[in-house]
């Protein structure tokens, strides 16, 4: 049976793939967007395109009524700019306030959604070294950890209105259409590929196809609640990941980018880029979820070999 779903952040890398999957399976999608023109170009076949300024819930709250689900992906780009104090405020506010406004709007509507699914990130755990991280592991203590904690605390308040709440803690989403993988590939094109930082840090990755399947799984299964680690089971460190890219596209991978160079390039964000997060998808594995791409070799072959 088709569902009626509101999606924010639909024009991003994950949002575009997710909306396509939802539309392809027959769901009715309402896109909340800051640019209707852009959304119509990127997301074909949605039922509605609603202008969304999260600070003005009076203009959009009624469109949440009688929906089966709300999927909240919107937020300022983490890697889009240098982390000035001003941009850090933008990163935090775009997640905290937008999530709060959506959840507060649930109180005013007559027929509330069954589930509120909000994106989050493995950045929740901070730099945890070799510690094995499950959904029950403690929060980190850096900026991204703070952002993710506040983000999730805002989302879980949907339960106050009888709405199931899920926060998808996403690792590095690998896609041939853009995102982190595209940025990582650039040095390899000039035969200067290599790992970032020491290379010993754990690298929590996931193929975009499995990430979309996890969102659909969370949407369709009432037993899924709270935080969910969206990472592949095949754990790997950054050096091994760089080697896998080099092997897949037949390029060298022995030109590391030291932390000091990263700090010069991107500032404070460098510490988060090389944070070690040995994350396992415990909830999904315990529930019997089957990944299509469990190891990175299979994932990169699928994404990079035409």
Q: Note the pLDDT tens digit of each residue in 134-153.
A: 999 999 999 999 999 999 99
Between 118 and 263, residue with greater pLDDT: 118
Rg (CA), the chain: 19
Write down the pTM of the prediction. Answer: 0.96
Listed range (1-5, 129-133, 161-165, 259-263) with the worst mean pLDDT: 259-263
- Reply yes or no on whether the pLDDT at 53 is more than 80: yes
Instruction: Check residue 175 and report its DSSP letter.
Output: B
Place of tokens 């709300």: 70
Closest CA to 239 of 190, 195, 305: 195
**Structural tokens at position 246:** 């080099």
**Structural tokens at position 297:** 């070799």
Strand positions, DSSP E, the chain: 4-8, 28-33, 48-51, 69-72, 115-121, 132-133, 164-170, 172-174, 205-207, 226-230, 278-279
Q: Which domains does the chain have, with CATH numbers?
A: 4-173+204-231 (3.40.50.720)
pLDDT band at 264 (very low <50, low <70, confident <90, very high): low
pLDDT in tens, 206-250: 999 999 999 999 999 999 999 999 999 999 999 999 999 999 999
Instruction: Check residue 288 and report its DSSP letter.
Output: T
- Reply yes or no on whether the pLDDT at 305 is more than 90: no
pLDDT in tens, 16-28: 999 999 999 999 9
The Cα–Cα gap between 91 and 105 comes to 22
């Amino acid at each position: 049976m088709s569902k009626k779903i509101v999606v924010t952040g639909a024009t991003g890398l994950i949002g575009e793939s997710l909306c396509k999957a939802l539309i392809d399976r027959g769901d009715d999608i309402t896109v909340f967007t800051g640019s209707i023109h852009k959304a119509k170009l990127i997301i074909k076949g949605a039922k509605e395109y609603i202008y969304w300024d999260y600070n003005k819930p009076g203009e959009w709250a009624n469109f949440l009524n009688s929906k089966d689900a709300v999927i909240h992906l919107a937020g300022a780009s983490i890697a889009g700019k240098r982390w000035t104090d001003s941009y850090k405020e933008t990163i935090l506010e775009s997640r905290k306030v937008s999530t709060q406004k959506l959840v507060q709007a649930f109180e005013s509507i007559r027929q509330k959604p069954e589930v509120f699914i909000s994106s989050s990130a493995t950045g929740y755990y901070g730099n945890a070294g070799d510690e094995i991280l499950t959904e029950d592991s403690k929060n980190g203590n850096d900026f991204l950890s703070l952002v993710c904690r506040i983000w999730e605390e805002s989302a879980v308040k949907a339960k106050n209105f009888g709405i199931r709440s899920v926060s998808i803690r996403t690792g590095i989403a690998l896609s041939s259409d853009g995102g982190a993988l595209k940025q990582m590939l650039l040095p390899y094109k000039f035969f200067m590929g290599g790992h970032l930082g020491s290379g010993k840090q754990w690298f929590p990755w996931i193929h975009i196809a499995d990430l979309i399947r996890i969102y659909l799984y969370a949407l369709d299964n009432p037993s899924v609640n709270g935080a969910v680690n969206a990472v592949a089971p095949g754990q790997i460190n950054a050096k091994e990941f760089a080697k896998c890219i080099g092997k897949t596209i037949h390029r060298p991978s022995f030109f590391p980018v030291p932390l000091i160079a990263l700090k010069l390039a991107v500032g404070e964000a460098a510490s988060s880029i090389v944070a070690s997060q040995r994350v396992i998808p415990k909830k999904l594995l315990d529930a019997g979820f089957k990944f299509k791409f469990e190891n990175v070799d299979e994932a990169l072959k699928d994404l990079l070999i035409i």
